[in-house]
């Protein structure tokens, strides 16, 4: 590759020293490999949907104009399903938005929040004019991802489920007949004003369908978020909308396979994973976990990650032998969709705001349940028995040791 190198960790480094992610690697290979070899590499990186590559969606010029004017990445591809004799296609258009914060974290909080609203408005409008039916925003989209600073003043961004951000998005939902998933820092007014990391589900009529609270709170690196909110208490709800059954596996929940499984058992057809994660911590895992979840649970997954480096006024430390610092690292964007047939879209930019749009035939979910039979071949009663034993204080692992092992070692 001319003026491009593959580093030890698998990232692609360009001549100017910038780092390219998984999607950029795919693009670089397309420019440097013979067509027949690239097709094979693409098959392995992005999979095959119904035996072929994903098709590009032709978007209206008004959506493209908004992308050009406001400088955000805009991509649109389509997943197909096999034609059935007994069911009509169930095609839904789904969108994901990734974005950086709008003004420095030193600005007044109200100004920061309003600037993010103003920044997202043209991106949401682009989704609307493009005919998106279901739109999901990134984790804690109304604010900088300040939770790991452990400073309590950032709690001011918390709001009730029917608060300012919901009212802002309800207007778009009604205007564009669009379901919107809005992940926020929730303040629970009815229960002592405690806080939760919550996704609000806004119906296409502007109504609030329900909410889901983040099940798993990270304790890794800078991400010690339990300073601000607790593990969720809403279980694994699936929200039935006019466009399909959706669920929200918020951020760190993607590392827990049983969390993905539970949404599938409750009947989800699309599971969104709104996130805030940085390159040094999780980027090699990013294209793998969601794709694996889509395969194992026979549903579509929409992965959203914020983008940019957020610098905070006061330095903080993680207690992991690193010196104190003012940022978490680079939020690497790379939002994308994964399908139950192991195919996935290219990713949005690693550096820019973006809108990823996908048409998906939800019939593909049942088709792959039928093909692989995971629901029929799983041994849920065996897993349930093990888990019931594991959570008891007297649990003993089922380990069968070689009788000569300890004899020889002694």
Could you give the CA distance from residue 124 to residue 169 in angstroms, rounded to a whole number?
Answer: 9
CA distance 213 to 247: 11
Helix runs in 234-312, H state only: 257-265, 279-282, 286-297
Residue 164, SS3 per DSSP: helix
Active site includes 214?
yes
DSSP helix/strand/coil, 377: helix
Question: Which residues contact residue 34 at a Cβ distance below 8 angstroms, ignoring those fewer than 6 apart?
Answer: none
Distant-in-sequence, close-in-space partners of 199: CB < 8 Å, separation ≥ 6: 181, 182, 183, 184, 211, 212, 213, 214, 248, 250, 272, 274
Catalytic residue among 148, 159, 186, 214: 214
For 42, the enclosing helix (H) or strand (E) is helix 35-46
Of the candidates 300, 305, 285, 402, which has an alpha carbon nearest to the alpha carbon of residue 348?
305
Choose the catalytic residue: 251, 269, 283, 310: 251
Could you tell me the CA-to-CA distances from 346 to 46, 78, 185 in Å, in that order?
Answer: 7, 11, 29
Q: How far apart are CA 6 and CA 17, in angstroms?
A: 12
Quote the CA–CA distance of 401 and 410 in Å, as a whole number. Answer: 15
Return the structure tokens found at 329: 């690292």
How far is residue 216's CA from residue 274's CA, in Å, rounded to a whole number?
13
CA distances from 387 to 259, 375, 394, 397, 401 (A): 14, 19, 13, 11, 22
Residue 349: count of CB within 10 angstroms of its CB? 19
Structure tokens at 184: 């926020």
CA-nearest of 133, 128, 139 to 165 is: 139
Of 11, 139, 159, 283, catalytic = 139
**Residues 134, 181: contact at Cβ < 8 Å?**
yes
Which of helix, strand or coil describes residue 361? strand
Q: Is 321 part of the annotated catalytic residue set?
A: no
By residue count, the chain amounts to 410
344 catalytic per annotation: no
Q: List residues with catalytic annotation.
A: 139, 214, 251
């Amino acid at each position: 590759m001319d003026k491009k190198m593959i580093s030890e960790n698998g990232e692609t480094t360009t001549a100017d020293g910038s780092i390219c992610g998984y999607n950029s690697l795919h693009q670089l290979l397309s420019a440097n490999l013979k067509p027949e070899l690239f097709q094979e590499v693409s098959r392995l990186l992005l999979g095959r949907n119904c035996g072929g590559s994903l098709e590009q969606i032709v978007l209206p010029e008004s959506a493209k104009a908004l992308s050009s004017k406001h400088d955000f990445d805009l991509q649109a591809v389509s997943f197909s399903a096999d034609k059935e004799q007994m069911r009509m296609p169930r095609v839904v258009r789904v969108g994901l938005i990734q974005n950086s914060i709008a003004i420095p974290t030193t600005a007044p909080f109200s100004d920061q929040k309003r600037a993010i609203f103003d920044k997202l408005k043209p991106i949401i409008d682009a989704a609307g004019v493009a005919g998106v039916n279901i739109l999901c925003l990134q984790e804690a989209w109304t604010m900088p991802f300040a939770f790991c600073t452990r400073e309590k003043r950032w709690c001011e961004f918390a709001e009730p489920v029917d608060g300012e951000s919901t009212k802002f998005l309800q207007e778009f939902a009604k205007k564009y007949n669009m379901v919107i998933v809005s992940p926020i820092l929730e303040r629970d007014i009815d229960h002592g004003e405690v806080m939760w990391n919550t996704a609000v589900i806004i119906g296409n009529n502007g109504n609030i369908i329900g909410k889901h609270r983040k099940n798993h709170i990270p304790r890794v690196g800078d991400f010690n978020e339990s300073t601000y909110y607790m593990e969720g208490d809403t279980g694994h709800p699936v929200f039935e909308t006019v466009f399909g059954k959706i669920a929200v596996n918020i951020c760190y929940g993607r590392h827990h396979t049983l969390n993905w499984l539970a949404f599938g058992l409750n009947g989800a057809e699309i599971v969104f994973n709104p996130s805030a994660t940085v390159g040094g911590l999780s980027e090699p895992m990013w294209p793998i976990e969601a794709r694996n979840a889509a395969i194992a649970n026979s549903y579509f997954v929409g992965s959203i990650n914020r983008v940019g480096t957020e610098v905070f006024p006061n330095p903080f430390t993680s207690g992991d032998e690193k010196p104190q610092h003012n940022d978490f690292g680079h939020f690497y964007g790379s939002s994308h969709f994964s399908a139950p047939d192991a195919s996935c879209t290219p990713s949005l930019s690693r550096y820019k705001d973006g809108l990823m749009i996908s048409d998906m035939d939800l019939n593909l979910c049942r088709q792959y349940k039928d093909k692989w039979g995971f629901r029929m071949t799983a041994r849920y009663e065996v897993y349930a028995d093990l888990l019931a034993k594991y959570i008891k204080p007297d649990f003993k692992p089922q380990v069968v040791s070689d009788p000569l092992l300890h004899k020889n070692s002694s």
